[in-house]
Amino acid sequence: MSAPAQAPDAVVVGAGVNGMVAAAVLARAGWDVVLIDRNERIGGFIASGEATTPGYVDDLYSSWHPLFVTSPAFAELGADLARHGLSYRNTEGSVTASVGDGGRVTVAHRDPEATASGLTDPADRSAYLAMVEGFAARAGHVGALMGADLRSVGGVRAALGLGGRLGLRGTEHLARDLLASGRSWAARSFRGPEVDHLWVPWLLHAGLSPDSASGGFMLPVFAASTHLAGLPVVEGGAGNFVAAFEGLLAELGVRVMTGTSVDRILVRGGRAVGVSAGGRRIPARRAVLASVSPQALYGRLLGDAAPPRHRAAAGSYRPGRAAMHVHVTLDRPLAWTDERLADVPLVHVSDGSASTGIACAEAEAGLLPRRPTVVVGRQHLLDHSRVPPGAGALWLQLQEVPFAPVGDAAGQLRTDGGWTAALARAYAERVLQRVAAHAPNLDAAIRDVRVTTPLDLVARNPNAVAGDPYGGSAELDQNLWWRPFPDGAGRTGVDALVHIGAAVHPGPGLGAGSGYRAATRLVRRTDRPAIHRPGPRPGPAPRGPRKEEK
């Protein structure tokens, strides 16, 4: 669409989940909003389509939505999104599992008691249930803390509320868990290997490794959240999530400009007053929200207007490991050797801390891991519409990948040309053989294979600096109070400019925490009464999905 004829209240740069949520929340409160994205369709790393084989729907990037359905954003927007077609499929049975190289299998069910019953040591069963119950008792306070600006009065209140709930001893234990790695926490908390085997690979979904600080805090979060929310997937593919937001944003009168790159954030007298996009000036009367990387915000977009300390800190902000995807279509269902995996929608091929820790270390050294942790997703078990009758599909995610490989830990693959098509195919074959070792019908069942490399992720979304889809390393010195860095934690140094996205507390994931928090704070600061506009405002609607993503 063309540039707006009148100055909007807010311009939102970047239409991933944080940008979409922020735009919707502001518009519901009566703000006139423009949402701008460089891609031809909004959604960021949320998209789906028949990209591998006709008749099969692939979630091209992210897929599982437990963080969204348990978020404040969903609590506010869920009913409206449902009116625009958003619905979820989930499971009440088996949820996730890990299978090791020797064939050892550990399974988690929605029912924590069923999960605990699979632990060998009776003391571990009691400890597991106590862990889940303990997190459930403080989940509201933890959620408030994770959703607050930790340096604000609200953040202090959230911290005091959690501390009051836990008491002095409980607060000390929580601090200990925050400093602990997932490997050490599991070894300290449980006698047997099952909890480590089952949940440590989940740390990869937070951009962590088994030996990263804060893993001891995140493991109970992953476990309890999965028991609570399951693993919901969007019915019909993740693209329907984007379609629902397109419908809601149009209804709220948000003016969406796709296929448009923002060149500069305009600053006058220390205040953000708009953006320059596609050679046009788009003013903003109240705020500019930027869902971009710190490097882009304090470099190209602000230029000389960036506070020097922020510019220097952004220059040293570290990306995490790169990631890649392998999409596989099958002409028959995958047949696991162990029948307990037959109905599990998300399986990690991993030995827990042992193999995942080595693979992370190899990737961080620039090497292709010899035994990568493979996330095996089968969304069609929850949503049968995604594959033809009698068929199957695999959504394989790899989160221990070097962006610029300097070698192969197995000494088999040439990496001197970087991520060439040949290297991508060869590494995908290693990954497939990791799965085939536990599912012997895989090779015969394959129809097509599609590989998304770290370079492809950057091409899709430049916020994935160095192929990292989590917006930067989540090591403790770049997390919580220090995300993206101390001076930039909730403050850009430019009035009316708000930084949101995966690089901002509470970090990556589909919970849209930073976008929702920023929008609600802006709404609270205005004296304009909140109003809900049920009907569309005049002006062009957002562009619809591209043909290949319908």
The answer to the question of residue 542 being in a domain is no
pLDDT at 464 over 50: yes
The answer to the question of residue 94 being in a domain is no
- pLDDT band for 541, please (50, 70, 90 cuts): very low
The answer to the question of residue 240 being in a domain is no
- 507: domain CATH number is 3.50.50.60
pLDDT at position 3, please? 53
- C-alpha torsion angle, residues 221, 224, 229, 234 (rounded to 10): 50
Mean residue pLDDT across the chain: 91
Q: How far apart are CA 9 and CA 23, in angstroms?
A: 11
Q: How far apart are CA 216 and CA 408, in angstroms?
A: 30
User: Based on the domain organization, do 325 and 444 belong to the same domain?
Assistant: yes
Number of domains making up the chain = 3
The answer to the question of residue 234 being in a domain is no
pLDDT at 296 over 70: yes
Q: In 152-168, which positions are buried (b, 16+ CB within 10 angstroms) versus exposed (e)? A: eebbeebbebbeeebee
Higher pLDDT, 170 or 276: 276
User: Based on the domain organization, do 143 and 190 belong to the same domain?
Assistant: yes
pLDDT at position 531, please? 41
Mean pLDDT of 216-243: 95
Q: How far apart are CA 415 and CA 410, in angstroms?
A: 12
pLDDT at 536 over 70: no
Q: Is 394 left (phi over 0), alpha (psi -120 to 50) or beta?
A: beta
User: Based on the domain organization, do 135 and 214 belong to the same domain?
Assistant: yes
pLDDT at 385 over 60: yes
Q: How far apart are CA 319 and CA 79, in angstroms?
A: 36
- Which positions ≥6 away from 295 have C-beta within 8 Å? 314, 315, 317, 465
Mean pLDDT of 429-433: 98
Higher pLDDT, 54 or 6: 54
User: Based on the domain organization, do 29 and 160 belong to the same domain?
Assistant: no
pLDDT at 141 over 60: no
* Residue 4: how many other CB atoms lie within 10 Å: 17
User: Based on the domain organization, do 333 and 283 belong to the same domain?
Assistant: no
User: Based on the domain organization, do 291 and 264 belong to the same domain?
Assistant: yes
DSSP for 116-133, written as a single string: HTT-SSHHHHHHHHHHHH
Domain housing 418: 321-460
Asked if residues 472 and 317 have their Cβ atoms less than 8 Å apart, the reply is yes
pLDDT at position 529, please? 44
Mean pLDDT of 361-390: 98
The answer to the question of residue 540 being in a domain is no
The answer to the question of residue 546 being in a domain is no
Identify the domain boundary among 229, 249, 275.
229
User: Based on the domain organization, do 153 and 176 belong to the same domain?
Assistant: yes
The answer to the question of residue 447 being in a domain is yes
Q: How far apart are CA 386 and CA 382, in angstroms?
A: 9
Higher pLDDT, 178 or 185: 185
User: Based on the domain organization, do 435 and 389 belong to the same domain?
Assistant: yes
Cα distances from 533 to residues 246, 288, 331, 519, in angstroms, run 15, 22, 47, 17
User: Based on the domain organization, do 268 and 374 belong to the same domain?
Assistant: no
Could you tell me which of 37, 25, 9, 33 has the C-alpha nearest to residue 292?
Answer: 37
User: Based on the domain organization, do 421 and 523 belong to the same domain?
Assistant: no
Higher pLDDT, 531 or 488: 488
- pLDDT band for 360, please (50, 70, 90 cuts): very high
Higher pLDDT, 489 or 163: 489
**What is the tens place of the pLDDT at every residue in 25-53?**
999 999 999 999 999 999 999 999 999 99
**What is the tens place of the pLDDT at every residue in 57-83?**
999 999 999 999 999 999 999 999 999
Could you tell me which of 112, 288, 316, 75 has the C-alpha nearest to residue 195?
Answer: 112
User: Based on the domain organization, do 326 and 280 belong to the same domain?
Assistant: no
Q: How far apart are CA 65 and CA 518, in angstroms?
A: 21
Could you tell me which of 190, 194, 184 has the C-alpha nearest to residue 217?
Answer: 184
Identify the domain boundary among 404, 431, 460.
460
- The DSSP letter of residue 541 is P
Structure tokens of 419?
């991520």
pLDDT at position 28, please? 97
- pLDDT band for 178, please (50, 70, 90 cuts): confident
- 353: domain CATH number is 3.30.519
The answer to the question of residue 455 being in a domain is yes
**What is the tens place of the pLDDT at every residue in 94-130?**
999 999 999 999 999 999 999 999 999 999 999 999 9
Identify the domain boundary among 460, 486, 515.
460
User: Based on the domain organization, do 452 and 343 belong to the same domain?
Assistant: yes
pLDDT at position 525, please? 86
**What is the tens place of the pLDDT at every residue in 493-503?**
999 999 999 99
pLDDT at position 147, please? 58
